Structure 1
Amino acid sequence: MSTRSVLAWSAVLVALAAVLARDRFFFFFSADSVCRTIPIDAAWPSTTAWGRLNETVDGKLIATVPIAAPCHKTLNGEPNSLYDEERCAVLRDTWFLPETHLESPSSPMSYLFSNDTCNPWSGPDTPCTTGTDAVYVINATEVSDIQEGVRFATENNIRLVIRNTGHDYLGKSTGAHSLSIWIHNFKSTELLQYSSSEYTGPAVKMGAGVESLEAYKFAASHGLVVAGGNCPTVALAGGFIQGGGHGPLASKYGLAADTVLEMEVVTPTGDYVIASPKENTDLFWALRGGGGGTFGVVTSATVKAFTDTYGSTASMMVANTGANADALYSAIGGLIQKALPGLVDAGAFVVWIVAPFGFMISPAVAPGLTSAELDKLMQPMIDILKGAGLEYQYSSAQHKTFLESFESYSQATSWNVSDYNVGGRLIPRALALERTDELVGAIRHISTTAFMSGVSYNVASADAGGGAAHPYFRETLFGLALGTPVNYTDWGATLAGQGRITHDLIPALARLTPEGGAAYLNEANFEQSDFQRTLYGENYERLLAIKRKYDPKSIMYARTAVGSEEWEERGDGRLCRVK
């Protein structure tokens, strides 16, 4: 055969392969390809193929429309029939509320991950595009919906994203050119009398979309409590637990991951399995603290439930007048040394805020303690404030149940997570008590220009159950989460604020633990360069081996997740393997 003939036949074969791939009869690109397929590629599924997927999932496929579309005259380069000035005005009024994004199948609650592609404040003539949002979303309500989504993404070499409530500081729940599986509506709850060689007693089985307040209310209706989050709208099984999960009952019962008895999971190969101490034990270990969006899609978690009891809460406020700043930061050092250890060792969970406006405790939560007992534990801090001549406000209250305690503060102190770029660091007890002055110096450097939250707990003696949460948790006195504000009218300022977190604020804390250090996986900096050590510690290599076992084709990717170093997101949003 002549050279010309060979070339001609080669051209025909390449063209035929492209056509067949488009029609999904032949997969020209496999899941092992260098890059995931995006809409401009010939291999991107046809409209007919997407229609077949929609039929397979009973009409639950959603074509993404950014929620700010009513604010723009064009959408993805075409005239936008959704443009509506009145709807846009309403949206602007509610944009800062987490609930606005919570019910969206695609809107990132952390605005940085929208890439500013459809901003309600940018003006109606500014183009609105899907940008970094998923192209399509499956509103999954059945296990089969998830399996079909995983299969379709695998066969068509498309980036796969798992989204729950969207509470996500690391950009795991969104991704350009992707198919997203939305598990927010897995809302089942069931009370069990659980019996195994590891645990016998009451338990709650909850769907992946069940949020903290929903779980607390269900448990309370049966005279019980479960370990959940401090934010009422954080879903527990689908992400929170997989990051470890600390909350108001952490000092009493441990991390939420410590209380898990078993999970139901769709693996990246599409299998539906149970992960427990008896089945798929390695996966069970990994899912309890090893990170979400990479080992599989958790559809339910069964967790220990504990007898409800009374409890107390307290709050405190000290304004920073400028003239009292030295005394105020000295008092924060006193809190760290003389009050926090006793509080968390007694089972309390203490959230404290340091920011340009001053210092506040909001709240201290003490399950099983009377208000008088909590006041006594808070007395060292009160004495420090009085001794320094600092004016303060303090109050405490006693509550009949944990739910009553939670509801007394959760709405009043529910900070809007969508307004900040976020990073964090875990502070071990030894550092806090032995190098207090250095630590307070770092806190002062950060909090004079940024928002900082200290979340204090003691999970050292909790039954970890062999989970994969970072071992540093067991040494931690408190975690520091810090934030720089999102500027919705100045994208450059928002990016600069994230840069400050990465290059200035987090390093100020990291320098205090040069030999190691760690961050809470759910409140970390998504630009953490050494994320393997900082987010997973000594568990990383074992987690990576489990990832490769259950996801041999690396179907599931998320920023800073286990195995994510094998991929890169390019400037056009395309996800490609690192060569």
Structure 2
Amino acid sequence: MKLWMMVFSLLMHSFCYGASAYCLPNQACWPSQKQWDALNRQVNGHLLQGYSPLSPCIKNSNNIACNDMLNKLKNPYFIESQPGATQSNGWVDAWQSAVSPYVVAVENAQEIASAVNFARQHRIKLVVKGTGHDYLGRSNAANSLLIWTHNMRKVTLHDHFIPQGCPTTQTPKSAVTIAAGTRWIEAYKEVTTNNGRYVQGGGCATVGAAGGFIQGGGFGSFSKKFGTGAAGVLEAEIITADGRIRTANACQNQDLFWALKGGGGGTFGIVSKITLLTHELPSSFGKVKGTITAKSDTAYQKLIRYFIHFYRDHLHNEHWGEQVSFTPGNKMTFSLVFAGLSKSEVDTLWQPFLDWLSKKPEQYQVRWDSATRPAKHYWDFDFLIANAPEAIVVNKANNASPSEFWWASNQTEVSMYINYYLSMYLPAKLFAQENADHLAQTLFKASRFTEVVLHFNKGLSGASSEATARQKDTAMNPEVLDAVALVIISGGQQNTYANIAGHKPDLIKAKKEIHQANKAMELFHALSPNSGTYPNEADYFIKNWQSALWGSNYPKLLQIKHKYDPHNVFSCHHCVGSE
């Protein structure tokens, strides 16, 4: 009770001293052309007029230019190169992608500071876009000034990094500094492929490495071994609402430093560069892929139950990550990764599971495979082209940089109009011997409505001791430490646009699917009523979002928000202080 009385007090402060309505282009407060020209000089000519790449389609979608553009928008790198485009096109009844009338294509921290000062002085809504990966639509807004970090791409390795202002007697760490617009594919190439180290980033290689991913927490495929991206932050350069360029680390601006490690992107300032811990690289990474189709509901229930117990006893540790899905067609799909194990160890580990299935050929149809890859080559373009070309999609755009690719498994996320995206942490107690059967039955019942996916790398129960220790010093919801997995129920319509004739999302179909998805998620909420979730992959309409997204850390985060941004210069949907 005391916790939320503190929140209430801080919210009253926000209402009394918080932001007034933003200035709009049709109002007298909107800057004159002379003032915009002055800003352009301050940012070295990098002020752009906002535009929509979909402009060839607005009046008539049945033309060559429109069709060409719609094909280009199937490429995430092309989307990132357009300040007026986002990776997701919208969310039913929530948001749809909008174009900022003005864009600052920033190239350094001082240009960011100039843009922040201008927006604050003229009370213009600010949005920040690096790559445009944000399910909740926070990297775009109508009538806003967009700070576009796309051109700030740089990766610098350090063998002996000590944060600024810390004692020189402190033990130095191996680290990497990443500029604001850098994508994970670029970070992995430099850190892993070229230098044989590991940095904890995202599974989707086209996601930005220094923005909302890290600041929202940042899970990757191997987070149970190496932790979250947020837990690996050693230092950040950040421009706060007052236009100051600050350094935040364990020795200066410590409260801001903590907030940046999971307190949410677009909230406390704009990070211009960030330094992350790097790790010793395992000799290999591997993957287990498979599908098991049960030939009856009864057989499917037995399969789910057997797997939940098998996972708890054999896979609930730092070696395993990624996902297993459960579908209405009585099919389980396995897409799991592992680190620190050989292929023979993995095959031996899974043999009892496969033996159980082989004794019931009349009940189960099984496809199964496992493989390893030298960890140094996990993101190596040349190696993948030679050994696993089906796993990647090569960027063939005219302006593509050499060796750019994205995972084929991420293609369905490109230009997606979201129908629903629901998630919840599953605490360890649900996997205990006395509760596992109930969890299995819930998974079966939920899969009668829609596909349900368990992401085991997005919970840190079973994680390495090092990852667990680092995580405790982040702003993420502490529940993540007890979460075995994040359950995700999601769906959408690809290559659809709310305002393009012939390409609009089917809202009638969407509403039916949303109803089914909500029914499925209700079963998990009944199983664990107070479970929180991961901010970067949360429902747009989530209730009690403060506690669900940050738990007991929210009051402290709100205090830090008021300290560094008392007038809500930075504001976004379900971000700290956005009440």
TM-score by length of 2: 0.82
Aligned twin of 1:459: 460
CA shift for structure 1 position 272: 0.6
Aligned twin of 2:145: 179
CA shift for structure 1 position 494: 7.0
Q: d(CA) in 1 for partners of 2:544 and 2:231?
A: 26
Aligned AA for 2:493? V
Aligned to 1:50, which of 8, 27, 36? Answer: 36
| CA offsets 1:63-93 (integer angstroms, 9 cap, x no match) | 222221111238xxxxxxxx88212112333
Q: Alignment partner of 1:392: what SS?
A: strand
CA contact (8 A) 2:188 2:379 kept: no
CA contact (8 A) 1:334 1:384 kept: no
Q: d(CA) in 1 for partners of 2:83 and 2:69?
A: 16
Aligned twin of 1:15: none
Aligned AA for 2:453? S
| CA offsets 1:398-447 (integer angstroms, 9 cap, x no match) | 22224427865562422522434422111112113343344334434444
CA contact (8 A) 1:312 1:396 kept: no
Q: Alignment partner of 2:211: what SS?
A: helix
Go from structure 1 to structure 2 and tell me whether the alpha carbon gap of 1:367 and 1:177 turns closer, same or farther (over 3 Å shift). Answer: same
Aligned twin of 1:556: 570
Q: Does 1:511 align with 2:497?
A: no
Aligned AA for 1:562? V
Mapping for residues 117-266 of structure 1, pairs under 5 Å: 132-192=98-158, 193-195=160-162, 199-220=171-192, 221-266=194-239
Q: d(CA) in 2 for partners of 1:67 and 1:191?
A: 36
Go from structure 1 to structure 2 and tell me whether the alpha carbon gap of 1:447 and 1:104 turns closer, same or farther (over 3 Å shift). Answer: farther
| CA offsets 1:387-407 (integer angstroms, 9 cap, x no match) | 443111111112222442786
CA shift for structure 1 position 261: 0.8
Go from structure 1 to structure 2 and tell me whether the alpha carbon gap of 1:116 and 1:267 turns closer, same or farther (over 3 Å shift). Answer: closer
Bigger shift: residues 503-512 or 554-563 = 503-512
CA shift for structure 1 position 211: 1.7
Quote the RMSD (CA, aligned, Å). Answer: 2.8
Q: Which has the larger radius of gyration?
A: 1
Q: Alignment partner of 2:145: what SS?
A: strand
Bigger shift: residues 473-482 or 488-497 = 488-497
Higher relative contact order (CA 8 A, sep 6+): 2
Go from structure 1 to structure 2 and tell me whether the alpha carbon gap of 1:69 and 1:207 turns closer, same or farther (over 3 Å shift). Answer: same
Go from structure 1 to structure 2 and tell me whether the alpha carbon gap of 1:46 and 1:538 turns closer, same or farther (over 3 Å shift). Answer: same
| CA offsets 1:8-40 (integer angstroms, 9 cap, x no match) | xxxxxxxxxxxxxxxxxxxxxxx9663111122
Q: d(CA) in 1 for partners of 2:30 and 2:255?
A: 35
Aligned twin of 1:110: 88
Q: d(CA) in 2 for partners of 1:91 and 1:157?
A: 34
| CA offsets 1:134-181 (integer angstroms, 9 cap, x no match) | 222211111112111111111111111111211111121112211111
Bigger shift: residues 423-432 or 527-536 = 423-432
CA shift for structure 1 position 341: 5.3
Aligned to 2:354, which of 373, 382, 388? Answer: 382
Aligned to 2:410, which of 390, 399, 414? Answer: 414
CA contact (8 A) 2:449 2:516 kept: no
| CA offsets 1:529-566 (integer angstroms, 9 cap, x no match) | 2110110000000000000000011110011110111x
Q: Does 1:343 align with 2:315?
A: yes
Go from structure 1 to structure 2 and tell me whether the alpha carbon gap of 1:387 and 1:49 turns closer, same or farther (over 3 Å shift). Answer: farther
Go from structure 1 to structure 2 and tell me whether the alpha carbon gap of 1:114 and 1:512 turns closer, same or farther (over 3 Å shift). Answer: closer
Q: d(CA) in 1 for partners of 2:480 and 2:574?
A: 18
Which ranges in structure 2 are unaligned for 5 or more consecutive residues?
A: 1-16, 393-406, 497-503
CA contact (8 A) 2:450 2:517 kept: no
Bigger shift: residues 99-108 or 287-296 = 99-108
Aligned AA for 2:70? R
Aligned twin of 1:78: none
Q: d(CA) in 2 for partners of 1:366 and 1:235?
A: 24
Aligned to 2:279, which of 291, 303, 306? Answer: 306
| CA offsets 1:472-520 (integer angstroms, 9 cap, x no match) | 1111111122212227334523762685388434333222212x21111
Q: Alignment partner of 2:271: what SS?
A: strand
Aligned to 1:287, which of 260, 263, 272? Answer: 260
Go from structure 1 to structure 2 and tell me whether the alpha carbon gap of 1:543 and 1:346 turns closer, same or farther (over 3 Å shift). Answer: closer
Q: d(CA) in 2 for partners of 1:87 and 1:116?
A: 29
Q: d(CA) in 2 for partners of 1:384 and 1:99?
A: 44
Go from structure 1 to structure 2 and tell me whether the alpha carbon gap of 1:117 and 1:204 turns closer, same or farther (over 3 Å shift). Answer: closer
CA contact (8 A) 1:350 1:456 kept: yes
